[in-house]
Structure 1
């Protein structure tokens, strides 16, 4: 009989409690399901801190670290998770922790992050040349501070046991509850899809969102003071989604040459104008399907997709779900 795999999660002062407890509960629930089937547990859960004892989270409640990470032999860890939280920035400047993570990386089978924990892995140099994501609010910070990381800001997680586009060794996940999606993917890789779906049902979760699915979060415009050349145009776009929003039309509105506008978009937003417009249209369509009693054809017309088929393709491309299925699940 195989020994249980050790799933270790790092905690530190002002860590986000749900980044820790959410993923760990998935593994604990997998153990519960196996017990119901008369099988031994698959996982041993381990919480590591700067020292053994209680650590205050950003929510004010305390979590108990079983032992100090510095005194932990990483060869005994199967999967190591690094959560995010308000205390993440201080950990990014903790040379002892970063050194320990670099030493642990080749010794553990899987090393992943939840939410802004990706910035800790990046600070240790472990995401260089790799795809990575994080909470949508921290994507810009990750991209700016670590240009050598291939930041994928609109996916739930970058783990994949068999997809060449993913990574089975070092991976990241987006904000908060995306860590639960990541943990379900890890359980599926270990114990099969049936077990992952059983755990998801037990936790009353969406039955496993794919890692490449976009984060369901509002696409907020950046602070206007940081994008002075685009601020007026970005305010104008949402009110004209059904209009011609080609690069040429946007350039005329912004009083720039098309090539200049494209360059400024990439410099200030990290994407071209066409991709930005598509995301604004998609976000607006998502909002209408969630909150308005509108047909899919009406939503497609109002948001500039024109035909419902164009809307369907955009939803499948970015959200891995059809507009109809999205409305049924989230309206």
Structure 2
């Protein structure tokens, strides 16, 4: 009969561990499902595309992960100098859910990336003392801190670019150089992020406007792998990589590989070798097919010849480089495999009805 109270006694004894488990300890992972915070700092007069472009890349990566049955990786946070609506240079207002005062160290850690946009408002923002102090204080705490376009001026004012390569919008390069203590200005790069270099993987910059999208794609590649970066680029119908001096890769052309299984590897290989010999014999060797067989497969699956397909990829790469206005026509002709500028000019006139120079003037981001 004395054994009856024992279960009650054991039940009471078991309660403290249950209570302890119910209280999240400091080592417990955060309750939200995201693995990495992307904090974009908005300020009055910032350029809308500097903010929405990169953030859409991360949002698309989340969407694609959901479609694959995985949890989203990124938590997107819009922060302002103060919480509330922020009017951008185009007149669009976005809502900053947090102000700098709320973005304390407890909210930022090694799983956070801070992005600072550019725009007309950077002239005032770079002299904002609280913003500069916040950037200096938080940079050592976060995994990454980068700038879009002229946002590089804010990082430079905070002393974070000393000893590092840096770029910005072409019209702000001289202003950035004037701030230099030991900044290595590189106006030909789309961005300076380099996952293989600890310093350039921690603090980095990007060139004008749409280069922030290129930067975001590179960050996705570093976080989630090349396959996801390529999937995001294809979904957004953009180039997955546009680094100066390297061949471009078109999402529109890459999408064709899904419908051409016999040519898939070859079509993925071509954009990275545009400056090389891409004659039928070389393509056939790469595809492990006889030249005549290769020609038949191209005609059947793509309704074109190997030579016309290569010219199409080269032309698309050239239009991308010229639209960025970061290389001369002669350099674009060499990088894209046209050799002489006259060959590039003939290709442009045949396909687009304009010269390379006229195309750059009409459609260049500058």
- Normalising by structure 2, what TM-score? 0.59
Aligned ranges for residues 14-93 of structure 1 at < 5 Å? 14-77=45-108, 78-93=112-127
Match of 2:161 in 1: 127
**How many Å apart are 1:50 and its aligned residue?**
1.4
2:228 equivalent among 178, 182, 195: 195
Local SS of the residue matching 1:198: helix
CA deviation vs aligned residue, 1:240-290 (integer Å, no higher than 9, x gap)? xxxxxxxxxxxxxxxxxxxxxxxxxxxxxxxxxxxxxxxx9951336889x
Q: Contact between 2:81 and 2:99, CA under 8 Å: does it hold in 1?
A: yes
**How many Å apart are 1:152 and its aligned residue?**
1.1
Aligned ranges for residues 151-230 of structure 1 at < 5 Å? 151-163=185-197, 167-210=200-243
Match of 2:149 in 1: 115
Structure 1, gaps ≥5 residues long: 215-279, 290-294, 304-322, 324-329
**How many Å apart are 1:163 and its aligned residue?**
4.8
**How many Å apart are 1:52 and its aligned residue?**
1.3
**How many Å apart are 1:210 and its aligned residue?**
3.2
Q: Contact between 1:159 and 1:211, CA under 8 Å: does it hold in 2?
A: no
Change in Cα spacing, 1:297 to 1:118, as seen in structure 2 (3 Å) is: closer
**Rounded Cα–Cα distance in structure 2 between residues aligned with 1:281 and 1:288:** 13
CA RMSD across the alignment? 3.0
1:11 equivalent among 21, 42, 45: 42
Which 10-residue stretch deviates more, 136-145 or 107-116? 136-145
**Rounded Cα–Cα distance in structure 1 between residues aligned with 2:243 and 2:87:** 32
Q: Contact between 2:126 and 2:132, CA under 8 Å: does it hold in 1?
A: yes
**How many Å apart are 1:301 and its aligned residue?**
9.0
Match of 1:233 in 2: none
**How many Å apart are 1:108 and its aligned residue?**
0.4
- Normalising by structure 1, what TM-score? 0.65
Change in Cα spacing, 1:203 to 1:116, as seen in structure 2 (3 Å) is: same
Structure 2, gaps ≥5 residues long: 1-28, 248-324, 346-355, 357-362
Match of 2:282 in 1: none
Aligned residues: 235
- Identify which of structures 1 and 2 has the higher relative contact order when contacts are C-alpha pairs closer than 8 Å and 6+ apart: 1
CA deviation vs aligned residue, 1:145-204 (integer Å, no higher than 9, x gap)? 22421111110011011157x711000000111000000000000100000000000000
Query: Could you list the runs of 4 or more consecutive aligned residues of structure 1 that deviate by over 4 angstroms after TM superposition?
Result: 211-214, 286-289, 300-303
**How many Å apart are 1:207 and its aligned residue?**
2.4
Change in Cα spacing, 1:29 to 1:302, as seen in structure 2 (3 Å) is: closer
Q: Contact between 2:338 and 2:344, CA under 8 Å: does it hold in 1?
A: no
CA deviation vs aligned residue, 1:294-319 (integer Å, no higher than 9, x gap)? x935516999xxxxxxxxxxxxxxxx
Q: Contact between 1:17 and 1:59, CA under 8 Å: does it hold in 2?
A: yes
